Amino acid sequence: MARILVVDDDVLILAALSRILQAEGYEVVTHSDPVVAAREQGFDVVLTDFMMPYLNGVELLSALREKNPRAVRLMLTAAADFKTASEAVNRGEVFRLLGKPWAMSELTSSIRQAFEHHRLVAANERLTREVAEKNAELLAINEGLERRVIERTTGLLDGLISALDYRDTETQWHSRRVSLYARRLAQEIGLSGPALDVVEQGALLHDIGKIGVRDSILLKPGPLTPDEWVEMKQHPEFGYRMLAKMPYLHEAALIVLQHQERWDGKGYPLGLKGEEIVIGARIFCLVDTLDAITSDRPYRKGRPMSVARDEVRRCAGTQFDPMLAEAFLGLPETEWARIRREVELMEEAESHRWTGGKLNAQGEPVPARASGA
């Protein structure tokens, strides 16, 4: 049953209101002492007089609101002036202000509207809660689906990177090294969270567009002709077009597009300059040089870290972002050695999975499917 609290220091008025409201079908709780009434709980609507000893109506409603925040508040007053009404509305959050003596139709109509308002607010809160719960369920489902899509797409891209690394054996495992180098340098300049992941992804995928370059150009042992260089220089755009339609890789795709740009504007394919180049591409440019200098090539052995540091120092402000060069030079050489060793361990683990640890007569890994294992 709908429950209403009625408070008035005049016991005759209180009795009259009680009879009227009980006749309307409400459960009525009455108090002539507002101090006692302030301790009541569990009602849907409160109707109180304004002028009462100890606590006036506004003070009572304020006290009741703490324990009964959803109760709808109405006030009776014989002093129906603007000041009273203003105080009632502003301090007491009164739903309706009624005058004394009251008109029966106005009183009963206002009480019905108050209960209807209470019901609607409760229903709205319930529906809002149910919608929030359903949205949370849908969000969890969508996050799960998105995670599966990302995992599967990442697995596919990792396979493509491995295919590219095996195709271009000169730079095998290069992509994995520069991705971790890039993440470490990004950490050093204060990037964190998703921004770090973007830098690592972009560096890992930087050469994915070389899949679209002909073998005769990609694997050519000698210098490229001018026409061949034109095709080779398209690989950042090839890579960007491969990745840009994947929403979660859009920012990484920009690094792929810009990874051959230079701080001084002399790079390609867009000739961007300075901070026009995304931070991930500027980071990649530097760590790519680090890896190129310190890694073995068929035509030379990898050179010491000191050579790479000298090159970064020399090219700061031309090829490299000077801020990034300073951050790189501030890191100990042991950091880069640690990352290189981490990738070497990854390479050894993958080789062991592939070969079962077996070698042929020439000391080369034997695929497990051909070894009789």
**Cα three-residue angle 282-248-203, rounded to 5 degrees:** 30
| Four-CA torsion 106, 108, 109, 114, nearest 10 degrees | 120
DSSP reduced 3-state for 99: strand
Contacts of 233 (CB under 8 A, 6+ apart): 260, 268, 269
**Which one from 100, 134, 210, 301 is the annotated catalytic residue?**
210
DSSP classification of residue 17:
H
> Cβ distance 13 to 102 under 8 Å?
no
Q: Is 40 left (phi over 0), alpha (psi -120 to 50) or beta?
A: beta
Nearest alpha-carbon partner for 17 in 26, 198, 55, 255: 26
Q: Which two tokens stand for residue 288?
A: 């790519």
Please tell me the distance from the alpha carbon of residue 295 to that of residue 309, in angstroms, as a whole number. 14
207 in Cβ contact with 239 (< 8 Å): yes
The beta strands (E) that lie in the chain are given as: 3-7, 27-31, 45-49, 72-77, 96-99
Active site residue 210: yes
Helices (H), 51-103: 57-67, 82-92
Quote the CA–CA distance of 336 and 354 in Å, as a whole number: 27
Query: Is 324 within 8 Å of 181 (Cβ atoms)?
Result: no
Residues in the chain: 373
User: Catalytic site residues?
Assistant: 210
